[in-house]
Amino acid sequence: MIFVDRYRKDESGRDIRPPESWFDDAVEATELAKNERSGHKWDRNVYADEARLKPALEKLFFDKCAYCETKFLAGADSDVEHFRPKGRVAERKKHPGYYWLGYKWENLYLSCPHCNQLRKDKPRWGDPRTLPSGGKLDQFPLLDGAEATRAMGPDDDIYEEATLLIDPCYDDPEWYMAYDPQGQVLALEDNPYGEKTIEVFHLKRRKLRDARKVIMDFTIHFLEKIKEAKSQGNEDAVGFLEELLEELLSASSEYAGVVRFVLNNSAVFLADNS
């Protein structure tokens, strides 16, 4: 997971957001949701609008899941995910859901079905265990004992909530997460934010771990080649390899968080691999 600036612009300097007509519809739908609350019939044509909203989310999040950074390759499905769940809250039975944020641009994220829905962690070659299911659904946990801070309606301030989930458009996930040499994600110094975020979005699932491991090994290989080229005084090779590494580090690359972590801890990873 990496930070994504929701107010960033595209290559031509254009704001990355849905057109005004979508915001007009969202305001209207929000008014209806506020009046109807738990009786509201959610309009997918607004909160998951394929024509006006989805392309903006795809552009904003670099065609990647906002949480696990898996790229949506041609044909892969993506979900529009409500960071604060719209219809119910798993941790608070009588909560009506954050219905007033169901059509709010700042509450909508692009997610893969594995992070957003409840999915099994299926067996892998050489590892026949079926591990417990995971995925976010309607979870929105707060710190232990902090339920009193939870926003219950539109008049409450969501920024007063003692939230546990790392918000990739608000927090810097790189402060909270680390990766082991197998590509598995860990909470840095067992911090509760990283731990809960990893649990809720099911970020330890094995296919994801293995996909991160491929990028991790690739990055380590690059760093070794750069080191070698430097020791040989081959400036052209160093320049070329560093340019490619820069590409891997950029927010648009798959699992950029892993690449950045390896680079920031290169002494450890290179030593492990020698």
Residue 174 C-alpha from the chain's centroid: 12
Instruction: Please name the residues in contact with 137: beta carbons below 8 A apart, sequence gap of 6 or more.
Output: 85, 90, 116, 117, 118
Q: Give min distance, CB of 222 to Zn ion, in A.
A: 25
- If the CB atoms of residues 64 and 95 are measured against Zn ion, the closer one turns out to be 64
Q: Give min distance, CB of 119 to Zn ion, in A.
A: 10
- If the CB atoms of residues 116 and 163 are measured against Zn ion, the closer one turns out to be 116
Q: What's the rounded Cα separation, in Å, for the pair 67 and 204? A: 12
β-pair type (119-121, 79-82): unpaired
Q: Give min distance, CB of 3 to Zn ion, in A.
A: 16
Q: Give min distance, CB of 201 to Zn ion, in A.
A: 7
- The token duo for 172 is 């810097």
- If the CB atoms of residues 112 and 166 are measured against Zn ion, the closer one turns out to be 112
Binding site for Zn ion (CB under 5 A): 65, 67-68, 112, 115
- If the CB atoms of residues 71 and 88 are measured against Zn ion, the closer one turns out to be 71
Q: What's the rounded Cα separation, in Å, for the pair 262 and 215? A: 10
Residue 175 C-alpha from the chain's centroid: 14
- If the CB atoms of residues 115 and 258 are measured against Zn ion, the closer one turns out to be 115
Q: Give min distance, CB of 184 to Zn ion, in A.
A: 15
DSSP assignments along 213-233, one per residue: HHHHHHHHHHHHHHHHHHHTT
- The token duo for 69 is 């950074």
For the CA atoms of 128, 130, 135, 137, the dihedral, rounded to the nearest 10 degrees, stands at 150
